[in-house]
Amino acid sequence: WLDTALVDGKVAHGAALVRGNVLDWPFRHGEGRFEAIAELADATLKFHHDWPEGHGISGTARFVNVAMEVDLKGRIGGAQINTVTGGIPNFGDAILELAVQGEGTGPALLGVLRESSLRRDFGSFMQNLTLTGRGTTQLDLHIPLEHHLGEPRVEGYVDIERMDLHDPTWGLGFR
């Protein structure tokens, strides 16, 4: 996953620590400690093939033994991603868990959803939907990086309190 996720960008600062016999690495049973930290700047991330790339990503990626934690911000499409926290608790069973908070215009947020894995199940419902105004979103992503670990899950909401929603297919119009 790491080989393909970081598409472009810079590591503005990095550091690593290894304690223990390197022949025992990746220290799955506490035989030692591996820790690396990378401060990312202006990165492009493709965290999953079913979701659009993130651009202008900055923040910290921290690796401890067989785990990774991230604290990032940036953009996906025209939507601003204020915080992304989470990571992969164990690369042995690689499941990416992320909590994402973002904001943007209605068209920008809808564009991200239309380019995501949600299009498979909800694409026909989003096809003629329009949103105007601005909104916020909170998503919790559970993304197994290997097929045998299960299906991806997305939970969350989009706050459209300050938006107008229209769909001529269903005759809907909310202001």
List the pLDDT tens digit at each of the 175 positions of the chain. Answer: 777 888 999 999 999 999 999 898 888 888 999 999 999 999 999 877 888 899 999 999 999 999 999 999 999 988 999 999 999 999 989 999 999 999 999 899 888 888 887 778 887 888 888 888 898 999 999 999 888 999 989 899 888 777 788 888 878 787 7
Q: Which residue, 99, 100, 14, 6, is CA-closest to 55?
A: 6
- Cα separation, 51 vs 133, whole angstroms: 23
Q: Residue 162: what are its φ and ψ, rounded to 5°? A: -105, 30
Specify the pLDDT at position 98: 95
Element of type H or E holding 2: helix 2-5
Q: How far apart are CA 106 and CA 140, in angstroms?
A: 20
- pLDDT given for residue 73 in this prediction: 98
Strand bridging mode 153-159 / 163-167 = unpaired
* Residue whose C-alpha is closest to residue 141's, from 92, 175, 81, 96: 96
